[in-house]
Amino acid sequence: MEDIAEKGLQVVVALAIFAAIIGVIMLIVDRAPKSAREKVQIVGFLAPALVLLAVGLVYPALQTTYLSFTNAAGKFIGLDNFVWMFTQPEALITLRNTVIWVVLVPLLASSIGLAYAVFIDKARGEKALKALVFMPMAISFVGAGVIWRFVYAYKGAEADQIGLVNQILVWFGQTPKQFLLDAPENTFFLIAVMIWIQTGFAMVVLSAAIKGIPTEIIEAARLDGASAWQQFRNVTIPTIRGSLIVVVTTITIGTLKVFDIVRTMTAGQYETSVVANEMYTQAFRAGEPGRGAALALVLFLMVLPVVVYNARLLRQQKEIR
């Protein structure tokens, strides 16, 4: 109880300080001399956000870029960190894994999400069916890690299995398997977790898009005698193309940054590491901030084209509208 009271007090004090700061800003903004009022108001409203962003994102991003050219002692070493990344076997495995993640997760999560959205469209109990698949979105990656480590749990062949997947293997007369330890296929079992989480996102967005298709188009296709599959291929897909691209790119960005799943399920061991996890390991565990920064920079360069593509698409759509 004492503990809660003390922590609660910290929160209350912080909120009070924050309210005081905002209050002072509002006061200054209102009391400013008439001639400069407009300017003071603009600065007062924008300053908190811009200062925080400059200090917390812009400066760090530049600093990280510089750090990536230094070694553990802070000395400038040119491209050595990048050479390390693209030549060392462990680092190469990390890059390979990241590529596998980025190809499989958006592809499978979007396809399953789309299929599911089509299947349950206008079905009875659509809402409940949606909620079931959507639910993993609310669960933290750490929580998902526990859930799936339990699904993959391994016991020797002579003992009763406690993991569902191994039990199913046993039911079919197979021997149980160490799903998270056996490289290289263990990466795929981690990827399954991410797909499990992201499918709900794809499903909800695509379902909304499908419901937005003008029914005249669907009726016209049906009139022409199009089968369900033809309708899906020639009507549904082209009409929701925009949403589909947004879903794929959003999941791609999320997948590139994936950290928690790998961290909690294998800690990046047994050849399962990915760039975002390796970045943390190098910078905060191995005492190599230079290498960590280089990995972060590579991550940035991988995310960049996806976001730029997305932004351009968004602008085109705005123009059309």
Residues 198-257 that bind another protein (CB under 8 A): 199-201, 204-205, 208-209, 211-216, 218-219, 222-223, 225, 228, 242-243, 246-247, 249-250, 256-257
Instruction: State the minimum distance, in angstroms, from the CB of residue 139 to another protein.
Output: 5
The tokens of 87 are what? 């030549």
In sequence order, what E strands does the chain have? none
Query: Residue 176 interacts with another protein (CB under 8 A)?
Result: no
Instruction: State the minimum distance, in angstroms, from the CB of residue 25 to another protein.
Output: 8
Q: Of the ranges 57-65, 74-82, 101-109, 183-191, which one interacts with another protein (CB under 8 A)? A: 57-65
* Residue ranges in the chain assigned as alpha helix (H): 2-31, 37-53, 59-67, 80-87, 89-120, 126-134, 141-151, 164-171, 186-211, 215-223, 228-231, 237-239, 241-256, 260-265, 275-280, 289-320
The tokens of 183 are what? 């490289």
Query: Residue 74 interacts with another protein (CB under 8 A)?
Result: no
Residue 161 vs 187, nearer CB to another protein = 161
Q: Which of 46, 79, 83, 92 binds another protein (CB under 8 A)?
A: 46
Q: Assign 76 to helix, strand or coil.
A: strand
Place of tokens 């399920």: 265
User: x/- binding map, residues 150-169, to another protein, per CB under 8 A?
Assistant: xx-x------xxxxx--x--
Q: Which amino acid is at 261?
A: I
Query: Residue 286 interacts with another protein (CB under 8 A)?
Result: no
Residues 6+ apart with CB under 8 A from 51: none
Q: Which of 77, 221, 226, 313 binds another protein (CB under 8 A)?
A: 313
* Distance, CA of 63 to CA of 289 (rounded, Å): 11
Query: Residue 22 interacts with another protein (CB under 8 A)?
Result: yes
Instruction: State the minimum distance, in angstroms, from the CB of residue 148 to another protein.
Output: 6
Residues 6+ apart with CB under 8 A from 95: 85, 86, 275
Q: Which of 24, 58, 72, 92 binds another protein (CB under 8 A)?
A: 58
- CA distances for 1 relative to 4, 6, 224, angstroms: 5, 9, 70
Query: Residue 11 interacts with another protein (CB under 8 A)?
Result: yes
Q: How many residues line the site for another protein (CB under 8 A)? A: 125
Q: Of the ranges 59-67, 83-91, 93-101, 183-191, which one interacts with another protein (CB under 8 A)? A: 59-67
* Distance, CA of 171 to CA of 126 (rounded, Å): 33
Q: Of the ranges 81-89, 99-107, 128-136, 182-190, which one interacts with another protein (CB under 8 A)? A: 128-136
How far, in whole angstroms, is CA 27 from its chain's centroid? 40
Query: Residue 259 interacts with another protein (CB under 8 A)?
Result: yes
